[in-house]
Amino acid sequence: MTFNTDAIVLKIVKTGESDRLITFLTRDRGVIKAFAGAAERPKNKLHMSTNLFCYGNFTFYENAKTVKTEECDLTETFFGLQKDIETLSLAQYFNELIIETAPRETQANEYMRLLLNSLYFLAEGKKNPRLLKAVFELRLSSIIGYMPSLVACKSCGAFETEPMYFNIETGELFCRDCIQKDAVCCPLEVIAAMRHIVFSELNKLFALQINVGKIPLLTQICEKYLIMSVGKNFKTLDFYKAIAN
């Protein structure tokens, strides 16, 4: 069977002398693995289009045992992600999260749009990388079914007090009069940012504005909540944090 779909390269493993086993995020089929024969050879037509982060419309050939790709109409290479090791390591973390959480054998348009937009802003240097990281983590948590409860205080229904408190373990919000022991104290600006990440339409998601001094707390909360939601740690995250720090 042959099928065409938009896809982005998430991971590459060299096999044999010159072949590649590639993990893709596809718009129509979620995460798939496919062989690209001889793609390691510089003169091969897939050599450039199957590099990490490359995005385009791929043609796949599927049989009972394997999936192969032999053609690609390349759209974007995200070359700017190679500009420094911190940017590259953050992009690789995004990819690993997608490999872990995105569906198989079903459409993944929301995952695709989140990843493509995040990589675009990261490659262009148009947004604070740590803010992009927080946006990606909390929005992805929501997409995979762990949307935190941010509408109002879980106990009394208060919409806002200064400050509010967020329980990372339960994903619940509390006001200053209903403080829970393990909840994180959050200025209203941080809560407003979290609400924007969770509830905004995707075309407005990256318009988020927040005081740069509040980004470390937002990043800490979003990272811990994502790790709690997924239930595992990520080597690419450990590497990124070592570089960033």
More confident residue, 180 or 2: 2
Cα–Cα distance for residue pair 195/218, rounded to 1 Å? 11
Q: Percentage of the chain with pLDDT > 70? A: 100
In this structure, the dihedral spanned by the alpha carbons of residues 197, 78, 81 and 144, taken in order and rounded to 10 degrees, is: 30
Nearest to 100 by CA among 221, 198, 228, 230: 230
Max alpha carbon distance in the chain (Å)?
67
pTM, 2 dp: 0.96
E strands, 45-188, are 55-62, 67-76, 164-167, 172-174, 184-186
Q: Phi and psi of 186, rounded to 5°?
A: -130, 125
pLDDT tens column, 118-170? 999 999 998 999 999 999 999 999 999 999 999 999 999 999 999 999 999 99
pLDDT tens column, 34-52? 999 999 999 999 999 999 9
Per-residue pLDDT band at 24 (split at 50, 70, 90): very high
- How far is C-alpha 240 from the chain's CA centre? 14
Report the CATH number of the 2-77 domain.
2.40.50.140
CATH topology of domain 83-152+157-244: de novo design (two linked rop proteins) (1.20.1440)
The two three-digit tokens of residue 8, written as one number? 């982005």
pLDDT of 64 higher than 90: no
Quote the pLDDT of residue 212: 94
Domain ranges of the chain: 2-77, 83-152+157-244
Stretch 67-89: mean pLDDT:
94
DSSP track, 186-225: E-HHHHHHHHHHHHS-HHHHTT----GGGHHHHHHHHHHH
Quote the pLDDT of residue 102: 97
At 17, the amino acid letter reads E
Per-residue pLDDT band at 70 (split at 50, 70, 90): confident
